[in-house]
Each structure stands twice: as structure tokens, then as C-alpha cells.
Amino acid sequence: MTLAIIVHGGAKSISEDKVTANNAGCQAAVEAGWAVLTSGGCAAEAVEAAIRVLEADQTFNASLGATLNTEGEVELDAAIMEGSSLGWGAIAAVQGVRHPISVARKIMDEKPRLLVARGAERFAADNKAEMCKKEDLIAQEQWEEWKEEQEVLDRPNTVGCVALDANGILAAGTSTGGTTNQQAGRVGDTALVGSGLYADNKLGACSTTGDGESIIPVVLAKTAIDFLSGDRHPDEAAQKAIETLKSKVTGEAGCILLDSQGRVGWAYNSSHMACAYMTTGQDEVAVFTKKEAPALCD
């Protein structure tokens, strides 16, 4: 059976001095998820492991290093979905949770639902999630940029992962700190099944990134999955999904896809998109910040 995993670190503008960090972070995330898959772990475990790496890396807009809202605080959203049962779990607008993706997975395993704010934080604490002071998730660089009202180029968007395990099960996950200076309590596409992520073993799985207010009305993740019909290659399906978004709304977005065969696809309409993947048969992780310029890493 083919194994496959793909991650993204956001559709965004990546300055030259941040290319190495984006490549290294995405590669590390793929390696963490790949280790789970090759040791017999399930797709949801691989997705969680990969996204936890991105959540702990200040390069990305998820948990530590997340953008700050209008109050100068970090609020986090995350979701995960599994393609055989269509099980899912999500949290939104939470503070003081180090790994939102792990809380979303706990919800999925217990009972599908979306929990927000204090209720989600209580659930996380009650289930022994890694908690911290909300201030501990504010990265110094983000704090300085927020105080000085600087334009943020490298962290505007969601991170995510899609994986296919040895049992042919697909899973997708997303995690984000939202948008810079977003209104407190704002929730974007990340935690919404169909918009920020979708997984269905019959077709494929998808994680999205970009402007949530543009992604939601076109239900981007489900739209991309639907384009896999008729054995369309995930790369073509991803591109058609982004073209659909561009034709209907204004905004930047990207998506990563795996189909049930383990084929990889991704597309975006921003200037860059941090991305990496590994499939059975590859000798190295393929890492990108632009689609036409892969960097094969040891």
C-alpha cells in the first residue's frame, strides 16, 4: 500500500531571509508524520504529529509564533478529519493551548463537534492537553511587529497536513492563529469542515490555507475534493479549486491534496506557498516555497 504525506506552512509572501526556515519547518513536519506512517501508525496520528511540529515552530502562524489579534493576544483554531468514518473535531478562538491540533483530535475521537473559546479551553484542560499562560504563545518578533504596526509578510495563514496510511485511510488537519489584527473572537475557515479541510476515502483529502472570508463561501476543501471525481489528478483538482475561488471571490488561498491512490497535488494564488511531501518510492522529502522551485532535502 502506498504511504503519502503532504504539509503546508501557509499560502503567503515569503521573504528571502525566511525561505530556509520555511523549508526546514515543513521538512521536519513531514519527517515526523512519515515516521508515524512507516511505523504502522494511522493517518490521523501522522497528521497530528506533523502539525504539532509546525505549531511549535515560530516560523509559522500556528500556536507559538501565531499572529496577534486587535487585543495583542493569540487566539487559535484547529481541526482534523478522518476519511473512512468522516469523523472530525475542531476548536476555535482558544488561548493558552500549546497544541490545538491535539485537542481537535481528542474531540474527534470522543464525539464530533466544534468547541470554542472558554468551553474549548476547559475541554483541553480536562483532557490533560498541554496548557500554558496565554502570554507564553506570543513570540517576540510577533509582539514587536504588532506594537509597531509593521506589515507582516511571513505569517498570514494556516498550516496543515494530509496523510494516507497503510490501511488506505486518509486524514486532513489544519491549525492557525488567524489573521494579523483580527477582531477578538473572529473564526475563519480553519475549524470548518468543508472549508478548511475535508477527508473522504472514496476520493481524497484536502487542507486549505489563505483568506478565510474568501475560502468559506466557496467551501474550498470540499470543492477541491469534488474535482477529484473521474480519476482527475490531485494537482489538476487543486488548480481547478483555486481557479474557482478566483472566479467567485477576491482573496488569496492555497490547498494541498492527496487522492486515495496517494497521488499528491497542490495549488495557490499567493506569491509563495510553503509545502513539503513524501510518498512511497521517494528517496527524499520534496520541499518548496514556490511550486516551480522544489528543494530536495536529505
Residue 187 in marked binding region:
yes
Residue 212 in marked binding region:
yes
Q: Phi and psi of 257, rounded to 5°? A: -140, 145
Q: Can you tell me the distance from the alpha carbon of 44 to that of 18, in angstroms, rounded to the nearest whole number?
A: 29
Q: Can you tell me the distance from the alpha carbon of 193 to that of 148, in angstroms, rounded to the nearest whole number?
A: 35
Residue 57 in marked binding region:
no
Look up 158 and say whether it is catalytic. Answer: yes
Query: One of 158, 176, 190, 223 is an active-site residue; which one?
Result: 158
Cβ-in-10-Å burial (0-12, 13-18, 19+) of 121 comes to buried
DSSP notation for 16-63: GGGHHHHHHHHHHHHHHHHHHHHTT--HHHHHHHHHHHHHT-TTSSSS
**Which residue's C-alpha cell is 484542560?**
125
Residue 186 in marked binding region:
yes
Q: Can you tell me the distance from the alpha carbon of 149 to that of 36, in angstroms, rounded to the nearest whole number?
A: 41
**Which residue's C-alpha cell is 500556536?**
63
Q: Can you tell me the distance from the alpha carbon of 273 to that of 52, in angstroms, rounded to the nearest whole number?
A: 19
Amino acid at 288: F
Residues taking part in catalysis: 158
Instruction: State the binding site for substrate.
Output: 186-189, 209-212
